[in-house]
Amino acid sequence: QTVVTQEPSLTVSPGGTVTLTCASSTGAVTSGNYPNWFQQKPGQVPRALIYSTSNKHSWTPARFSGSLLGGKAALTLSGVQPEDEADYYCLLFYGGTQLWVFGGGTKLTVL
Amino acid sequence: EVQLVESGGDLVQPGGSLRLSCAASGFPFNIYWMHWVRQAPGQGLVWVSRVNTDGRTTYADSVKGRFDVSRDNSKNTLYLQMNSLRVEDTAVYYCVRLEPDTVTTDYWGQGTLVTVSS
């Protein structure tokens, strides 16, 4: 059973920078896992932010960026805004099994 | 405008069956893969299944053998047949679009609630 692990919670000050990570129990996350990132605010439908590691959707604010960092997928928020307070989920693809797995999510608090 | 509208969620007893539908519009449904994703109350997102354009499917271990995803490209509709339902299947079920060339998961439906309880 493949497990994808994210930080359960992080806190950042307005205007600050924070990096959320996404690790795989099978080893290093690579571009072949096509990491996707999603934001979900309370009571709302998840919204896609990043696809294929680092690509932004047309609606993704410029302060969000994706990368690979130390064997993990990473989502960095630079110049955090109060409205960025939300749950963030990563999604990884495993080509060998053709399965997808979400991380457990990171609750980001802006304080 | 891309729209995904799920329906079919209901209260069902353990061991029962239910079929969810997802009506797609605003894009060429036949060239996109589709996911089903679920979220139990107060919990995180869980990937359930994926169907390719030609109907090939994959499933999470937790639903394999009980759930069956299908699509009717002539009706622009995605389905999820859920059998042998368990209390732990209680969740909001979302259909989600997947662009196969860039492996992009982008648009989500609003979700439909399935409650499994006696």
Q: Are A93 and A9 in contact (CB under 8 A)?
A: no
Contact check, Cβ <8 Å, B106/A97: no
Look over chain B and give the mean of its residue pLDDT values, rounded to a whole number.
96
Q: Is the pLDDT of residue A67 over 90?
A: yes
Which pLDDT score, from 0 to 100, does residue B101 have? 85
Determine the Cα–Cα distance for residues A69 and B110; give it in Å rounded to an integer.
33
The pLDDT tens digits for B2-15 are 999 999 999 999 99
The pLDDT tens digits for B53-94 are 989 999 999 999 999 999 999 999 999 999 999 999 999 999
Percent of chain B with pLDDT over 90: 92
Q: Is the pLDDT of residue B22 over 90?
A: yes
How many angstroms separate the CA of residue B97 from the nearest CA in chain A?
Answer: 11
Which pLDDT score, from 0 to 100, does residue B102 have? 83
Which pLDDT score, from 0 to 100, does residue B77 have? 98
CB-nearest to B106 from A40, A48, A89 is: A48
In chain A, which residues have their Cβ closer than 8 Å to the Cβ of B94? 45-46
In chain B, which residues have their Cβ closer than 8 Å to the Cβ of A52? 102-104
Which three-class secondary structure string do you get for B52-65? CCCCCEEECCCCCC
